[in-house]
A and B are shown apart, each in its own frame.
Chain A
């Protein structure tokens, strides 16, 4: 059981952090929440741990959203702190480009409906169709349709963002 948990932890932790990050948009908070998820896992030892992990992560992220305004203020303070510096391995210009790209994708993702976002993020976290169906409340047969729509809309929204950026730069 301990080995199984260890294996699950190794294979899932990064995906959970990424999933939470896309919900809370704060790397530190995403790490904290992911650790909380796994501490709860150790306490509860559920039968279907993988699905359980993402269900708890979604709930924690939802709780986080309730204090979004407060957190946003906190984030502004954090970002303005001099201690948060770009990685030494990358120069500042690359970092700026990456940040812009992230921001565009984030905006594109924001144009999707909550359900489409949820299904897309769960899929990207490596969950199977039945697991996504269980967590999202959709039928398994509807996951393919939802994913197809979500992928298309994300890419289209991102292209629109790119065009808009290009227009602004050109003008």
Chain B
């Protein structure tokens, strides 16, 4: 039999070999002086290693009892459970929020027949009425994104033209649209539900039930209102003319209706430079500003909010 390898002698001394292998090695060691002296040298090396490592030990102390450790562990447990519960709740809220966000965008791009998407939450109105950068959820609806690619016509109209109007929600044919301020109704006429009405600024709040969203400090040229069928917030288009002659529009209403209006117009809310309209959405309500505005405008603010949201 050939000599036993060094690593096997280490394993033999460390009692890491099978019993049968130990028997073979021991019988060899009994008859082989070389391997026997090798074993002794390795045993000495092993002892020396143990001795050296023994100097690298901290001073012995009385260990804490296992009961004490168990008590500490149990004291720590509720904190861990609380953390786990908080994480679970946070993930649930996150999942719900994600699902709701997807549904909101989906409903904004749906409704080809004018059927309004269900309102999931009560929505604060528009800028200046509770939709602040800190609490607003900002998205650009899918319909708008599609129309941005397909259209390049600049925004020059002051309000939706008759052929651009959203059809009646109850399916009946739209009546003729009042586009002249001389024939403006002074109160909300239930017979015009679902259709656009053009109202003067000083009557807009009475008709719409609230002050329409607009850019402060810019003269209002025209306000068009589409009352909600079920008593909810209406859709409003406020046209304002800048000193440069450029007309901007602030459109606020149910997200599905607003995005459908923009897509039907064909320009998708592009401004004269071909830039897309800026949109903010909270729940099922959407606020869109079309047309060119100076950098310190609401639109610029919305863009900043959107950028911040995307970074988050």
Does A124 interact with chain B (Cβ within 8 Å)? yes
A17 touches B55 (CB 8 A): no
Pick from B16, B60, B72: contact of A39, CB below 8 A: B72
Within 8 A of B (CB), among A39-86: 39, 42-43
A106 touches B56 (CB 8 A): yes
Shortest distance between the CB of B86 and any CB in chain A (Å):
19
Does B46 interact with chain A (Cβ within 8 Å)? yes
- Known interface pairs A9-B66, A22-B56, A106-B56; A155-B77 also in contact (CB < 8 Å): no
How far is it, in angstroms, between the C-alpha of A167 and the C-alpha of B10 when the chains are bound? 33
A31 touches B61 (CB 8 A): yes
Pick from B55, B56, B64, B73: contact of A43, CB below 8 A: B73
Shortest distance between the CB of A164 and any CB in chain B (Å):
16
B11 touches A129 (CB 8 A): yes
How far is it, in angstroms, between the C-alpha of A13 and the C-alpha of B63 when the chains are bound? 8
B7 touches A102 (CB 8 A): no
Does B76 interact with chain A (Cβ within 8 Å)? yes
Pick from B48, B49, B58, B77: contact of A30, CB below 8 A: B58
- Known interface pairs A147-B10, A155-B45; A21-B55 also in contact (CB < 8 Å): no
B73 touches A87 (CB 8 A): no
Within 8 A of B (CB), among A133-158: 143-145, 147-148, 151-152, 154-155, 158
B48 touches A144 (CB 8 A): no
B7 touches A144 (CB 8 A): yes
A144 touches B52 (CB 8 A): no
Does B244 interact with chain A (Cβ within 8 Å)? no
Interface residues contributed by chain B, number (CB under 8 Å): 31
- Known interface pairs A38-B66, A39-B76; A18-B57 also in contact (CB < 8 Å): yes
B-side contacts of A123, CB under 8 Å: 14
Interface size class of A (residues with CB under 8 A): 35 or more
Pick from A31, A35, A120: contact of B53, CB below 8 A: A120
Shortest distance between the CB of B21 and any CB in chain A (Å):
12
Pick from B6, B56, B60, B70: contact of A14, CB below 8 A: B60
B56 touches A105 (CB 8 A): yes
Shortest distance between the CB of B37 and any CB in chain A (Å):
16
How far is it, in angstroms, between the C-alpha of A152 and the C-alpha of B45 when the chains are bound? 7
Does B121 interact with chain A (Cβ within 8 Å)? no
Does A5 interact with chain B (Cβ within 8 Å)? yes
B-side contacts of A148, CB under 8 Å: 6-7, 10, 42
How far is it, in angstroms, between the C-alpha of A5 and the C-alpha of B77 when the chains are bound? 19
A-side contacts of B46, CB under 8 Å: 151
A145 touches B7 (CB 8 A): yes
27 pairs from A and B in contact (CB 8 Å cutoff) = A5-B66, A9-B66, A13-B63, A14-B63, A17-B63, A18-B58, A21-B56, A22-B56, A35-B69, A35-B72, A38-B69, A39-B72, A39-B73, A42-B66, A42-B69, A43-B73, A98-B55, A102-B55, A105-B53, A105-B56, A106-B56, A124-B53, A144-B10, A148-B10, A154-B52, A155-B45, A155-B49
- B binding-site residues for A, Cβ under 8 Å: 6-8, 10-11, 14, 16, 42, 45-46, 48-50, 52-53, 55-61, 63-64, 66, 69-70, 72-73, 76-77
- A binding-site residues for B, Cβ under 8 Å: 5-6, 9, 13-14, 17-18, 21-22, 27, 30-31, 35, 38-39, 42-43, 87, 98, 101-102, 105-106, 108-109, 120-121, 123-124, 128-129, 143-145, 147-148, 151-152, 154-155, 158
Known pairs A42-B69, A106-B56, A148-B6; list 15 more (Cβ under 8 Å): A13-B63, A21-B57, A31-B58, A38-B69, A39-B72, A43-B73, A105-B55, A108-B52, A120-B49, A124-B53, A145-B7, A147-B14, A151-B46, A154-B53, A155-B52
A-B pairs, top 7 by smallest CB distance, nearest first, are A27-B58, A144-B7, A144-B11, A129-B16, A145-B7, A39-B73, A151-B49
